[in-house]
Amino acid sequence: MSQQPGQAADAPADQPSLHRVLVDGIRDMIVCGELESGERVPEAFLCRRFGVSRTPLREALKVLSVEGLVQLRRNRGAIVTPVDPDRLRDIFETKGALEHFIGLHAASRATDADLARIDALHADLVGAERRADPGRYTRLNENFHLELARLTRNPELVQIYEALQAKVLRARFMINVDPARVRESLGEHEAIMTALRARARLDLAERLVAHNERTSEAMLRLLGDAPG
Amino acid sequence: MSQQPGQAADAPADQPSLHRVLVDGIRDMIVCGELESGERVPEAFLCRRFGVSRTPLREALKVLSVEGLVQLRRNRGAIVTPVDPDRLRDIFETKGALEHFIGLHAASRATDADLARIDALHADLVGAERRADPGRYTRLNENFHLELARLTRNPELVQIYEALQAKVLRARFMINVDPARVRESLGEHEAIMTALRARARLDLAERLVAHNERTSEAMLRLLGDAPG
DNA sequence: TCAGCAAAATCTGAATGCAAAATTGTTGCC
DNA sequence: GGCAACAATTTTGCATTCAGATTTTGCTGA
């Protein structure tokens, strides 16, 4: 959501294909909650919003359907996939399976430069929490975990991880994160960094999985209070 | 074309959308090797092949691009994603992460009926090997592992697993599987079934991961002899 | 023979048009 | 007042069309 794609006026940007702009733009709208969970999304609405014709827009909707962010029903248009606690649990579980793998392999495949970079990210994250900057915190947090995933040097895994992250992020935007949980989470990050620096495979895997589960539990609890 | 939407040749009912027919159809063409690795695929060719216009076809290509089976370059058309040993290793690694999770949770979530069904699948698989029916064997083998994945009751994971399977299957169609490896593989399946019947979580996980790694090694070895 | 360049043909990206399906609004009846 | 049937509007699925980019072809001259 870094740039408002509302104008067709950004035509000079001919580098990225319109199709990609739309996929990213609509994804952001969904993740940020600008399009509400379960809401019906007429093509014409998005066409006006982005100032494009239906052809590239429909291509984008098909892609987002594969990503699971919208659901398409024949002749009945698109709806934003509802955020369902059961499905979110599935997402966290699946992400957990990847976290385990990341833990087992990140330590051995990371260079010292990698570790320094992630250490810096972690420090930024602590700073964002201190300054009570939730937007920056959330972004840095996503980045921190994504960088850990990248340590596997496995693009296939990273791509899947990113898609799962997007779905989690969507749920995160729907709830008010508990500040106490944020501090707890930072403590878990500390433990993760300790294991990573020591290149302790099993420890790292265990802590990543535990962190994922804690986060899952906290989010599902909050989602229960403020569902759909 | 003169093809009216209602009678798209191989669409008996009007239930499945043309778009889905195309995605499935082109995916099959790629997986089975009918479209060769790295081959350039002009839209017009596929339009003639399926008797449709470019609009739904392009939608299908965008979807397959997200699945990673084709690569789209702006203004330069689609190419079938080359089968690369490094990428295949990544795919197996990622699948391995899921296998571990499947092992940990399949046993506890499976009903007795599930076990009976998978037992039957396993028996069929043994039969297919005995009768030296490689086509049927391959299909049953995919099914066997997919059913194990389904035991997690996690649709998110199953969807990702299926996509990974498709990519593995594509590589499998490019090589001649070693009969000795097939027998070895069946032995590993036996061990998997034993652990599953005993509902031994850790055992099952370990054996699924090991089976995945053995299969990976065997395929990568064969792929080295006859590369993309 | 071959490198370099220009014109033609081909291909892709995106907009528009049209028919079928679904949604909405209205009427008539109980 | 409520509800079923029907007509009008909207929306979707797909084909067709247009414009721009790319690749191929064909020519020229060294």
Q: CA–CA separation, B2 vs A116, rounded Å?
A: 62
pLDDT, residue A131, reads: 96
Positions of chain C reached by protein Cβ under 7 A: 10-17, 20-23
Q: Is B58 on the interface with A (CB under 8 A)?
A: yes
Low-confidence ranges of chain B (pLDDT < 70): 1-15, 226-228
B101 shares its domain with B197: yes
Tokens of B79: 């190419």
B192 shares its domain with B109: yes
Residue B30 maps to which CATH number? Answer: 1.10.10.10
A152 shares its domain with A113: yes
B21-25 CB contacts, 8 Å cutoff, 24+ apart? B21/B50, B22/B46, B22/B50, B22/B52, B22/B56, B22/B57, B22/B59, B22/B60, B23/B60, B23/B63, B23/B64, B25/B50
ipTM value for the complex: 0.92
In sequence order, which residues have a C-beta less than 8 Å from that of residue A44 and are 6 or more positions away? A54
pLDDT, residue B114, reads: 97
**A101 and B94 in contact by Cβ < 8 A?**
yes
Tokens of B56: 């739904």
The answer to whether residue A46 is domain-embedded is yes
pLDDT, residue B187, reads: 98
Question: Each residue of B116-156: pLDDT tens digit?
Answer: 999 999 999 999 999 999 999 999 999 999 999 999 999 99
Positions of chain D reached by protein Cβ under 7 A: 10-17, 20-23
B71 shares its domain with B148: no
B95 shares its domain with B70: no
Nearest residue on chain B to A18, alpha-carbon basis: B74
Among the listed residues A43, A27, A61, A48, the one whose alpha carbon sits nearest the alpha carbon of residue A163: A27
**B94 and A59 in contact by Cβ < 8 A?**
no
A51 shares its domain with A123: no
A73 shares its domain with A97: no
pLDDT tens per residue, chain A (228 residues)? 333 333 333 333 346 889 999 999 999 999 999 999 999 999 999 999 999 999 999 999 999 999 999 999 999 999 999 999 999 999 999 999 999 999 999 999 999 999 999 999 999 999 999 999 999 999 999 999 999 999 999 999 999 999 999 999 999 999 999 999 999 999 999 999 999 999 999 999 999 999 999 999 999 999 987 655
Per-window interface: A 138-197 vs B, CB < 8 A: 152, 154-157, 159-160, 164
B215 shares its domain with B144: yes
**A62 and B19 in contact by Cβ < 8 A?**
yes
List phi, psi (to 5°) of A160: -65, -40
Q: Is B12 on the interface with A (CB under 8 A)?
A: no
For B96, counting Cβ atoms within 10 Å of its Cβ (0-12 exposed, 13-18 middle, 19+ buried), the class is buried
Residue range(s) defining the domain that contains residue B59: 5-80
Residue A215 maps to which CATH number? Answer: 1.20.120.530
- Number of domains forming the structure of chain A: 2
pLDDT, residue B228, reads: 53
**B58 and A59 in contact by Cβ < 8 A?**
yes
Q: Is A84 on the interface with B (CB under 8 A)?
A: no
B67 shares its domain with B90: no
Domain end marker among B20, B53, B80 = B80
Q: How far is the CA of A66 from the C1' of D9 (A)?
A: 31
Residue A55 has its nearest CB partner, among B55, B98, B155, at B55
pLDDT, residue B2, reads: 33
Residue type, B206: E
